[in-house]
């Protein structure tokens, strides 16, 4: 056909296939979200509207990608985990990474007004995406721990930092210096003694992030003549 003279250029595409029988994690992360959150005056350290928007997007992605068995989100990132035997896009890395991240990004704008009804989006956000294979459940478990520990550490730091600044009247620089090199218990103590905040009583969604899993639901498949129903 008429295309044929140029079609050789397709041979330059180099496909990378994700190793079969491994858990595939696709992690997306907001690009330059420090600035994005500032621009939109997100509450510090956690803006609940933003968290719920992120969760809404992730659940939209998951509904359309049933091979995702679990998703975990915190801060400006979300991890989607494909089951071991997924054959999504023939396990082509680029297809999987790009489809999930672009859908997430377009959801972010699409659902924005549902979570920020009074605030218009200043500019379209951008996310990066990567895929990683984990050969064992243990490795996958450690991956999730890694992201959750990251959530915990950042959140404890940020909570203490903003308490010192917003409630304690400290300058950001002074707060930073005060916290430099401190361990968890020091931060817990500052929060408790100085601001009467028991860190462990803060909302779990801030401290631990969000997890999305499938819930088995009974679906009515037939209604019997006697009014009873058959479900599965």
Binding site for its own copies (CB under 8 A): 1-3, 5-14, 16-17, 19-22, 28, 31, 60, 64, 93-95, 97-99, 101-111, 121, 123-136, 139, 142-143, 145-146, 149-150, 153, 184
Pick from 23, 33, 143, 199 the residue near Mg ion by CB under 5 A. Answer: 33
The radius of gyration of the chain from alpha carbons, rounded to an integer in Å, stands at: 22
Count of CB atoms within 10 A of residue 87's CB?
9
Least distance from C-beta 213 to ligand DGT, angstroms?
22
Does position 104 interact with ligand DGT (CB under 6 A)? The reply is: no
Which pair of tokens denotes residue 45? 């350290």
Whole-number Å distance between alpha carbons of 21 and 199:
40
Burial of residue 108 (CB within 10 Å: 0-12, 13-18, 19+) is buried
- DSSP-based helix, strand, coil % in the chain, nearest 5: 50, 20, 30
Residues 6+ apart with CB under 8 A from 98: 129
**Which residues, numbered 166-185, are part of the site for ligand DGT (CB under 6 A)?**
none
The reply on whether position 75 binds ligand DGT by CB under 6 A is yes
Q: Is 34 in the site for ligand DGT (CB under 6 A)?
A: yes
Decide which of ligand DGT, its own copies, Mg ion, none touches 108; Cβ closer than 5 to 8 Å per partner kind. Answer: its own copies
Please give the residue ranges that form the binding site for ligand DGT (CB under 6 A): 29-34, 37, 42-47, 50, 75-76
Please give the residue ranges that form the binding site for Mg ion (CB under 5 A): 29-30, 33, 75-77
């Amino acid at each position: 056909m008429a295309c044929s003279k140029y079609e050789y250029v397709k041979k330059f595409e180099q496909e990378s296939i994700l190793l079969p029988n491994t858990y595939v994690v696709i992690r997306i992360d907001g690009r330059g979200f420090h600035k994005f959150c500032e621009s939109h005056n997100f509450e510090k350290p956690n803006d609940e509207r933003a968290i719920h928007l992120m969760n809404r997007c992730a659940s939209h992605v998951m509904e359309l990608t049933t091979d995702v068995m679990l998703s975990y989100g915190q801060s400006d990132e979300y991890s989607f985990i494909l089951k071991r035997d997924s054959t999504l896009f023939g396990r082509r890395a680029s297809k999987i990474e790009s489809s999930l991240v672009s859908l997430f990004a377009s959801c972010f704008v699409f659902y924005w007004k549902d979570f920020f009804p009074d605030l218009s989006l200043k500019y379209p956000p951008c996310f990066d995406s990567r895929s990683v294979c984990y050969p064992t459940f243990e490795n996958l478990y450690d991956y999730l721990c890694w992201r959750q520990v990251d959530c915990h550490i950042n959140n404890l730091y940020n909570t203490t930092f903003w308490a010192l600044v917003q409630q304690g009247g400290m300058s950001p620089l002074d707060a930073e210096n005060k916290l430099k090199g401190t361990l968890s218990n020091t931060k817990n103590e500052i929060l408790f003694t100085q601001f009467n905040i028991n860190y462990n009583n803060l909302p779990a969604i801030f401290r631990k992030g969000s997890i999305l899993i499938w819930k088995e639901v009974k679906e009515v498949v037939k209604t019997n003549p006697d009014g009873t129903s058959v479900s599965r």
